[in-house]
Amino acid sequence: MSRSSTAVLTDAHGHRLSLGKKIGSGGEGDVFLVPKHPESVAKVYKSPPAAEHLRKLEAMVSIGRDHRELPSIAAWPTSLIRSERNREPIGFLMPKLLDVRDIHELYTPKDRSNHFPKADWGFLLHTTINCADAFEKIHQHGHVVGDVNQSNVVVGTDSCVRLIDCDSMGVRAATKFFPATPVGIDAYTPPEFQGQALHNVQRNQNHDCFGLAVLLFQLLFVGRHPYSGSPRAKTPHGQSGFTDAIRNGDFAYSLKSTGNLAPPPGVPTLDLVPKSVGALFERAFSRSTKRPTAAAWCSSLRSLESQIKTCPTYKGHKYPSQHSVCPWCKLVNKGGTEYFFTAANQFAAWTPEADEFHAILNDAQNDLHLVEVPILPTWRRTAVVPTPVRLTLPAKPEPRLPPFKASAVNRYVPDQPVVGPPELPPPPIAPKLPARPISSVLPELHLPPEPVPRSSDSHVLKRESRLAEWSVASLHVVAVMAWLFPLTIPVFVVYY
């Protein structure tokens, strides 16, 4: 039985605290439901935390009471949990997050079709604004996220973003700064820290902005990592993965540099977004260490959101107004992937190559290796070929994307409800041909008249009539014998 299950726990007021079902587990501790506090969950450490970490938690609880917006955008510690026996802190309470998913389940096309089937590019764009806004609120109070990755940011169906694993953040208290926990993932670590032990460095907000830019890029560019692409030349021996690409500044989608990586085929390029947003990505992924702040991202992305328009052909396609033709339709028409499954899925069919394509994509993300992505179509529109007379039309689709609730300021509200494609006109009906008599088609047959028998040939006719009768009778006898012959064979066999 675990330590947390047997110990008697109390909250900050000394009241006994009973733990419910375990809903999560990590390297440091486990997360439990708290029946007496249904709006909160409890994180209980597997081993007693160090004294410095306890002082950091106490500072975070105090900061959260003074700044209520922090618990609203993050799983911020709100109260310490102590052991009743020796009053030793062994965990903390934090807000309970309902109906949220890891952010990678939104920007990955396959996962989005399962967990966010109504999300279009406008929804992804609004999520980027909320993500940048959450980072900005953390930075406003002098804190550092530190371990930025795809599993420490969660998003709900209303596009609201929350940050989790907050006890690993860098926290600025009144008189001291508590550094972030020295852990991280290479795919979100800035180039100056690639290949280094994080115990020897102290991360700041500028380092957060690199990981933030990677998350925003993955949201806007349907899951693609900015340093994952097709090699322009043969990769040097021993050089692979995000570590070398980030260290060398090989931003695959850059419009300015000609590094070793290029965008893979069948994916949107940096000119999908306006030049102002593209310039921020160029700065964030350049060799310069002065990266765009979270506030700069919020301002630029909000401006972009005001320029969004809907594709006239497929209502599930949203894109910046700078494009005269829908860029998502252009990708599909060139044999690329259909990334959005809202209105467009009325004419889409899942092909067998889809699982193989996304397996390659996910393996590349998880194993952190650069791969040359093949051109494998996933969602393909089935061509509608009319027949001359009969054509079975699909039923008129129901609205695919009802408007979101607008109770919260940062919830995504589409500009208009998404409806299916326009109803096709009825097929032409072939005209009926008038009936024509057979005589008008076939030529008239002229047969010669039958000869009239002469009286002198009467005895010949009688003889021929009798011969015909005998022939018919003989044929009947032969038929009966042929029918009886197979029946007599078993009798002879048994007799002999």
CA atoms within a 13 Å half-sphere pointing along the CA-CB vector of 383: 5
Tell me how far apart the terminal alpha carbons of the chain are, to the nearest angstrom. Answer: 91
Residue indicated by tokens 């907050």: 166
Number of C-beta neighbours around residue 488 at 10 A: 9
Instruction: Quote the tokens at residue 60.
Output: 């975070």
Tokens at 464, concatenated = 């021929």
Residue 407 gets which letter from DSSP?
Answer: S
Element (H, E) at 110: helix 109-115
- H or E stretch covering 80: strand 79-83
Take residue 254 and report the two structure tokens written for it.
């850059």
Taking the C-alpha atoms of residue 347 and residue 343, their distance in angstroms, rounded to an integer, is: 8
Rg (C-alpha) for the chain, rounded Å, is 39
3-state helix, strand, coil in the chain (%, to 5): 40, 15, 50
Sorted by sequence, the CB contacts under 8 Å of residue 451 that are 6+ apart come out as none
**Spatial contact of 374 and 359, defined as CB atoms under 8 Å apart:** no
Please name the residue that has the structure tokens 């609730």. Answer: 405
Could you count the other beta carbons within 10 Å of the beta carbon of residue 385?
A: 6
Whether residue 147 lies in the annotated active site: yes
Token pair 């047959």: residue: 445
Catalytic residue among 147, 158, 165, 208: 147
For residue 211 the two structure tokens come to: 């990981």
Can you read off the two tokens belonging to residue 468? 């015909």
> Are 79 and 61 contacting, i.e. CB atoms less than 8 angstroms apart?
yes
Cα 115 from chain centroid (whole Å): 8
Q: Are 152 and 160 in contact (CB under 8 A)?
A: no
User: Which positions are catalytic?
Assistant: 147
